[in-house]
């Protein structure tokens, strides 16, 4: 066997991952992609290993709910042929390997910096000096936006090449948010420090990243979470989805100048995040998810209160969405704006909502279910238009679906109790992987432990890592004035990407 | 149009009438109160993920605290988090809550520059810079302006350009990669101007403290006008802090 096939949240000895030579490693993983639409790369990373670099490639097979893991040890001094030459879905992973370890690729088409990490191989590269693509022409002009944007949002730089009002090309430069999180996971040894780090990877995806971390950690420690812990995690993920989707609909109304929609969706989000505060004391669910224990067991009272919040929400939400989706002035801005085709989405390996809005049925809740998702018989909502309208509509439908999931979950409350978290430390020389469908899409955390069970490598992948390129493609041939609504309709994470 | 009016009518009044005396729902973790009970102090300080707790006397630095509440769960008779959301101050020493201390957190009027209330008491335009912020404080700062919290009624707003701003609100631990853009933005704001640090990450670096990817030298160059603790900040904490800063004083 040239790879080992495991399940989501499974821990295996590092020694059980087959080590291939580079040509075999490349061939295996590129060929895996051709095994059907359900095959995709969930993580591909390297870590220092006896003076060389060990590469680990994780290819998910959605059809049979497995993840194929293979590895290869390389010398960063020797140039390599790239995976990207064969498939663009490896594009950013290989740029990251190049940036972190100085691995040179002979045939990578776009070997540019990813996030300018503090420990990058080329210390001469600087965030202020990104090599943008340019076109020499008297007809064209460039527009630079950022890193600081007009609104209260995170920083990133957008460089447009325009022909009059029309965007020919957009290049997105990130990295401004880099805080060195992956290194901090290794340095900060207390479990409470690590879960706090996980909470701060992306503050709008607290549930997504904390669930990925605790599931991974518990798997490494051989701890089996009870149904009540899994219940809280599943519920938090679905609530977060509803809250953030609602906020996004509000912001999308702002960007098309529909003030009523902005105000109503904005205020509809308030009781949802206030509910998190009622449950766990924090409006964005920080402090709620903990490995092996919980401070906030779910009760019948909490369930009753939640159902009341959702009943009140649903009435106003239905009224507002019905109006929004029949309002010609809003639809004129949503329709056929920022289109990503299924072909593009497939070729660059988009995930989550950004894949589902082009008709690709990609959803970890279905393909690699964790926590209570196996009981929910979840079926992804898909659309096939790939435009701003599809992204708005998909949010509405996903909100309806998540409300249904929550109602189903709260019909059968687990016996809630306080867990103290008695579990052992992580097993030595192990590898583990955790996949979670956050509201943006597939969150993936991987860990490798060393001699005494200490963390040797911690790799985080936010869904935005795959999806930023989709935004850049979506706005081609759009008017530049439609960029804000396109950008908001994706609502990708800067800090989740920059780490 | 009729439908829009109907929706508007169905929404009723959504704003919080008095943001200074509002009650937050649920079990919000606000200003902590530390009792004088004797406990294992080493165990308590060891517990904290961000070294916010010190000994002799036992104290919590709200500029470092992530409000995770783990200390209150481990030592329930020693530490309690109240629902008091008024946490903002202009004196970093007042962010440190000592055992036995029950009083409210307030601003020190002596540290407020005279021109602040003169120019900004009924109109304050702010520029926000996220410098490694995780988008949680940013979400809450946006919420300050929504129909519930409606900060705009006090003339406090976020603006799109530093040229239009009276001050800067910084979120995040200030990354190396954002250090220069932050400085450029600050320099572009006309005088007199204020600096507000929003959130634990901005005040102390929070859980990112000590990361080599940060560059916090900006903070050593200027006087900070307001510290707003929280992870993330609560909109009411921010609004009340700013109102206290700009209000007219005798």
At A327-351, the pLDDT tens digits run: 999 999 999 999 999 999 999 999 9
A116 shares contact with chain B (CB less than 8 Å)? yes
A190 shares contact with chain B (CB less than 8 Å)? yes
Judge whether B240 lies within some domain: yes
Judge whether B201 lies within some domain: yes
- What does the pLDDT read at residue B47? 93
For A198, name the nearest residue in chain B, comparing CA atoms only.
B207
Which member of A175, A201, A316 has the closest CB to residue B10?
A316
Question: How many interface pairs between A and B have CB atoms less than 8 angstroms apart?
Answer: 194
Which member of A155, A203, A320 has the closest CB to residue B139?
A203
Please state, in angstroms and rounded to a whole number, the distance separating the CA atoms of residues A256 and A186.
Answer: 44
CATH code, domain carrying B59: 3.30.70
Q: Note down the domain range covering A79.
A: 4-101
Which member of B161, B201, B211 has the closest CB to residue A180?
B211
Residue A422: pLDDT over 70? no
B58 and B115, same structural domain?
Answer: no
Short-list A425, A365, A77, CA closest to A221: A425
Torsion sign over Cα A352, A353, A355, A359: positive
Mutate to test the interface with B, among A126, A129, A152 (most CBs of B within 10 A): A152
State the pLDDT confidence band at A404, using cuts at 50, 70 and 90: very high
CA distance A19 to chain B (A): 33
CB A232 within 8 A of CB A298: yes
B142 shares contact with chain A (CB less than 8 Å)? yes
Cβ pair A196:B7 closer than 8 A: no
ipTM over 0.85: yes
- What does the pLDDT read at residue A472? 95
B129 and B65, same structural domain?
Answer: no
B115 and B67, same structural domain?
Answer: no
State the pLDDT confidence band at A285, using cuts at 50, 70 and 90: very high
Judge whether A43 lies within some domain: yes
CB A433 within 8 A of CB A317: no
Q: State what percent of residues in chain B have pLDDT above 70.
A: 100
At A454-473, the pLDDT tens digits run: 999 999 999 999 999 999 99
Judge whether A483 lies within some domain: no
CA distance B20 to chain A (A): 18
Measured between beta carbons, the chain B residues lying within 8 angstroms of A280 are 27
CB A218 within 8 A of CB A10: no
A177 shares contact with chain B (CB less than 8 Å)? yes
Residue whose structure tokens are 């953030």: A244
Short-list A233, A265, A294, A493, CA closest to A392: A265
Q: How far is CA A398 from the centre of its chain?
A: 17
Short-list B126, B187, B123, B195, CA closest to B160: B126
From B51, B70, B85, give the residue that closes a domain.
B85
Please state, in angstroms and rounded to a whole number, the distance separating the CA atoms of residues A97 and B193.
Answer: 43
Q: How many folded domains does chain A comprise?
A: 1
Mutate to test the interface with A, among B148, B213, B218 (most CBs of A within 10 A): B213
- What does the pLDDT read at residue A251? 95
State the pLDDT confidence band at A1, using cuts at 50, 70 and 90: low
- What does the pLDDT read at residue B249? 76
Measured between beta carbons, the chain B residues lying within 8 angstroms of A319 are 6-7, 10
**213-242 in chain B: CB under 8 A from chain A:** 213-214, 231-232, 234
- What does the pLDDT read at residue A212? 97
Mutate to test the interface with A, among B12, B19, B67, B134 (most CBs of A within 10 A): B134
CB A213 within 8 A of CB A286: no
**82-101 in chain B: CB under 8 A from chain A:** none
Q: How many folded domains does chain B comprise?
A: 2
State the pLDDT confidence band at B74, using cuts at 50, 70 and 90: very high
The mean of the pLDDT values for chain B is 94
A286 shares contact with chain B (CB less than 8 Å)? yes
Residue B92: pLDDT over 70? yes
B194 and B120, same structural domain?
Answer: yes
Q: Note down the domain range covering B143.
A: 109-246
CA distance A145 to chain B (A): 12
Cβ pair A281:B81 closer than 8 A: yes
Measured between beta carbons, the chain A residues lying within 8 angstroms of B213 are 117-118, 178-180, 183
CA distance A17 to chain B (A): 32
Residue B83: pLDDT over 70? yes
Judge whether A19 lies within some domain: yes
Residue B125: pLDDT over 70? yes
Instruction: Tell me the CA distances in angstroms from B40 to A490, B45, B55, one per residue in order.
Output: 50, 9, 10
Judge whether B12 lies within some domain: no
Judge whether A60 lies within some domain: yes
Please state, in angstroms and rounded to a whole number, the distance separating the CA atoms of residues A446 and A56.
Answer: 10
What average pLDDT does range B134-154 have in this prediction?
94
B201 and B143, same structural domain?
Answer: yes
Measured between beta carbons, the chain B residues lying within 8 angstroms of A295 are 69, 73
The mean of the pLDDT values for chain A is 94
A154 shares contact with chain B (CB less than 8 Å)? yes
What average pLDDT does range B106-114 have in this prediction?
92
- What does the pLDDT read at residue B11? 87
CA distance B88 to chain A (A): 18
For B184, name the nearest residue in chain A, comparing CA atoms only.
A148
User: A80 has which bridge partners?
Assistant: A105
CATH code, domain carrying B202: 3.40.50.12280
Judge whether B53 lies within some domain: yes
Please state, in angstroms and rounded to a whole number, the distance separating the CA atoms of residues A442 and A461.
Answer: 8
At A220-235, the pLDDT tens digits run: 999 999 999 999 999 9
State the pLDDT confidence band at A416, using cuts at 50, 70 and 90: confident
At A49-94, the pLDDT tens digits run: 989 999 999 999 998 999 999 999 999 999 999 999 999 999 999 9
CA distance A174 to chain B (A): 10
Judge whether A369 lies within some domain: no
Between β-strands A11-13 and A430-437, what pairing exists: parallel, antiparallel or unpaired?
antiparallel
At A147-185, the pLDDT tens digits run: 999 889 999 999 999 999 999 999 999 999 999 999 999
B138 and B64, same structural domain?
Answer: no
B74 and B188, same structural domain?
Answer: no
CA quadruple A233, A234, A239, A244: dihedral, nearest 10: 80
Instruction: Tell me the CA distances in angstroms from A363 to A185, A369, A491, one per residue in order.
Output: 27, 9, 18
Judge whether B145 lies within some domain: yes
Cβ pair B135:A495 closer than 8 A: yes
Judge whether A235 lies within some domain: no
From B51, B85, B119, give the residue that closes a domain.
B85
Please state, in angstroms and rounded to a whole number, the distance separating the CA atoms of residues A124 and A418.
Answer: 52
Judge whether A166 lies within some domain: no
CA distance A1 to chain B (A): 41
Non-local CB neighbours of A173 within 8 Å, separated by 6+ positions: A127, A130, A132, A156, A157, A158, A159
Judge whether B153 lies within some domain: yes
Please state, in angstroms and rounded to a whole number, the distance separating the CA atoms of residues A239 and A302.
Answer: 13
Measured between beta carbons, the chain B residues lying within 8 angstroms of A201 are 134
Short-list A99, A146, A71, CA closest to A499: A99
* SS3 of chain A: CCCEEECCCCEEEHHHCCEECHHHHHHHHHHHHCCCCCEEEEEEEEEEECCEEEEEEEEEECCCCEEEEEEEEECCCCCECCCCCCCHHHHHHHHHHHHHHCCCECCCCCCCCCCCCCCCCCCCCCCCCCCCCCCCCCCCEEEEECCCCCCCCCCCEEEEEEECCEEEEEEEECCCCCCCHHHHHHHCCCHHHHHHHHHCCCCCCHHHHHHHHHHHHHHHCCCCCCHHHHHHHHHHHHHHHHHHHHHHHHHHHHHCCCHHHHHHHHHHHHHHHHHHHHHHCCCCCCCCCECCEECCCCCHHHHHHHHHHHHHHHHHHHHHHHHHCCCHHHHHHHCCCCCCCHHHHHHHCCCCHHHHCCCCCCCHHHHCCCCCHHHHCCCCCCCCCCCHHHHHHHHHHHHHHHHHHHHHHHHCCCCCCCEECCCCCCCCCEEEEEEEECCCCEEEEEEEECCCCCEEEEEEECCHHHHHHHHHHHCCCCEHHHHHHHHHHHCCCHHHHHC
Residue B64: pLDDT over 90? yes
B201 and B79, same structural domain?
Answer: no
Judge whether A431 lies within some domain: no
State the pLDDT confidence band at A272, using cuts at 50, 70 and 90: very high
Q: State what percent of residues in chain A have pLDDT above 70.
A: 99
Which member of B47, B49, B142 has the closest CB to residue A196?
B49
Dump the DSSP string for chain B: -HHHHHHHHHH---S-S-TTT----S----SEEE------HHHHHHH-TT--EETTTTEEETTT-----HHHHHSTTTEEE-S-----BS-GGGGEEETT--SPP---GGGS-HHHHHHHTT-EEEEEEESS--SHHHHHHHHHTSTTT-GGGGTEEE-S-GGG-SEEEEESS-BHHHHHHHHHHHHTSPSS-EEEEESHHHHH-GGGTT-TTB--HHHHHS---EEE--TT--HHHHHHHHHHHHS---
Judge whether B120 lies within some domain: yes
State the pLDDT confidence band at A381, using cuts at 50, 70 and 90: very high
Residue B5: pLDDT over 70? yes
Cβ pair A283:B211 closer than 8 A: no
CATH code, domain carrying A85: 3.30.460.80
At B222-241, the pLDDT tens digits run: 999 999 999 999 999 999 99
Residue A417: pLDDT over 80? no
Q: In the structure encoding, which two tokens stand for residue A60, read together?
A: 């998910």
Non-local CB neighbours of A32 within 8 Å, separated by 6+ positions: A39, A59, A61, A68
Q: How far is CA B103 from the centre of its chain?
A: 18
- What does the pLDDT read at residue A34? 82
A291 shares contact with chain B (CB less than 8 Å)? no
CB B108 within 8 A of CB B91: yes
Non-local CB neighbours of A332 within 8 Å, separated by 6+ positions: none
Judge whether B92 lies within some domain: no
């Amino acid at each position: 066997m040239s790879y080992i096939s495991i399940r989501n949240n499974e821990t295996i000895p590092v020694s059980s991952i087959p080590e291939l030579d580079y040509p075999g490693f490349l061939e295996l993983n590129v060929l895996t992609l051709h095994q059907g639409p359900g095959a995709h790369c969930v993580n591909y990373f390297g870590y220092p290993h006896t003076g060389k670099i060990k590469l680990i490639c994780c290819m998910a097979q959605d059809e049979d709910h497995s993840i194929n893991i293979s590895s290869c040890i390389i010398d960063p001094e020797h140039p390599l042929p790239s995976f990207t030459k064969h498939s663009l879905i490896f594009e950013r992973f290989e740029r990251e390997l190049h940036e972190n370890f100085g691995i040179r690729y002979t045939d990578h088409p776009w070997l540019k910096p990813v996030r300018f990490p503090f420990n990058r191989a080329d210390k001469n590269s600087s965030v202020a000096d990104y090599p943008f693509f340019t076109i020499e022409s008297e007809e064209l002009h460039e527009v630079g936006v950022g890193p600081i944007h007009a609104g209260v949002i995170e920083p990133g730089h957008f460089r447009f090449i325009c022909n009059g009002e029309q965007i020919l090309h957009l290049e997105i430069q990130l990295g401004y948010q880099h805080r060195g999180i992956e290194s901090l996971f290794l340095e900060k040894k207390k479990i409470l420090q690590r879960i706090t780090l996980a909470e701060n990877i992306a503050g709008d995806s607290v549930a997504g990243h904390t669930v990925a971390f605790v599931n991974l950690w518990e798997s490494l420690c051989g701890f089996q979470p009870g149904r009540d812990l899994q219940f809280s995690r599943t519920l938090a993920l679905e609530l977060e989805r509803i809250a953030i989707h609602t906020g996004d609909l509000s912001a999308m109304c702002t960007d098309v100048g529909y003030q009523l929609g902005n105000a109503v969706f904005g205020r509809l989000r308030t009781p949802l995040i206030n509910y998190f505060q009622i449950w766990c004391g924090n409006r964005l669910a920080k402090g709620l998810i903990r490995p092996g224990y919980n401070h906030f067991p779910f009760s019948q009272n909490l369930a009753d209160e939640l159902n009341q919040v959702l009943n009140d929400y649903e009435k106003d939400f239905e009224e507002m969405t019905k109006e929004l989706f029949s309002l010609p002035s809003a639809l004129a801005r949503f329709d056929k704006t920022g289109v990503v085709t299924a072909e593009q989405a497939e070729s660059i390996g988009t995930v989550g909502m950004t894949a589902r809005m082009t008709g690709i049925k990609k959803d970890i809740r279905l393909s690699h279910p964790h926590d209570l998702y196996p009981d929910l018989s979840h079926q992804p909502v898909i659309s096939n238009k790939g435009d701003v309208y599809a992204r708005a509509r998909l949010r509405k439908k996903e909100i309806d679906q998540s409300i249904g999931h929550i109602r189903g979950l709260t019909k059968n409350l687990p016996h809630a109790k306080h867990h103290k978290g008695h579990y052992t430390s992580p097993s030595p020389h192990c590898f583990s992987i955790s996949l979670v469908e956050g509201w943006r899409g597939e969150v993936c955390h991987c860990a490798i432990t060393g001699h005494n069970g200490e963390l040797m490598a911690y790799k985080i992948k936010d869904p935005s890592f795959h999806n930023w390129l989709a935004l850049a493609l979506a706005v081609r041939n759009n008017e530049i004035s439609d960029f804000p609504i396109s950008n908001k309709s994706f609502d990708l994470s800067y800090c989740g990407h920059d780490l | 149009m009729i439908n829009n009016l109907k929706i508007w009518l169905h929404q009723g009044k959504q704003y919080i009438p008095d943001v200074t005396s509002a009650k937050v729902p649920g079990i919000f973790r606000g200003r902590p109160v530390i009792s004088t009970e004797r406990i294992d102090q080493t165990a308590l300080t060891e517990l904290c993920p961000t070294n916010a707790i010190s000994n002799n006397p036992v104290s919590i630095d709200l500029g470092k605290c992530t409000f995770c509440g783990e200390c209150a769960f481990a030592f329930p008779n020693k530490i309690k988090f109240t629902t008091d959301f008024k946490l903002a101050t202009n004196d970093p020493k007042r962010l440190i809550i000592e055992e036995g201390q029950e009083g409210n957190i307030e601003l020190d009027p002596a540290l407020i520059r005279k021109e602040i209330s003169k120019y900004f008491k009924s109109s304050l335009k702010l520029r926000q810079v996220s410098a490694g912020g995780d988008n949680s404080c940013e979400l809450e700062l946006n919420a300050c302006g929504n129909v519930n919290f409606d900060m705009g009624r006090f003339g406090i707003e976020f603006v799109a350009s530093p040229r239009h701003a009276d001050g800067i609100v910084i979120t995040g631990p200030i990354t190396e990669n954002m250090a220069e853009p932050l400085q450029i933005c600050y320099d572009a704001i006309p005088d007199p101007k204020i600096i507000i640090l929003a959130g634990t990450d901005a005040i102390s670096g929070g859980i990112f403290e000590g990361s080599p990817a940060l560059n916090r030298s900006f903070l050593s160059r200027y006087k900070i006008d307001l510290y707003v603790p929280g992870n993330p900040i609560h909109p009411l904490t921010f609004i009340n802090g700013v109102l206290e800063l700009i209000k007219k004083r005798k």
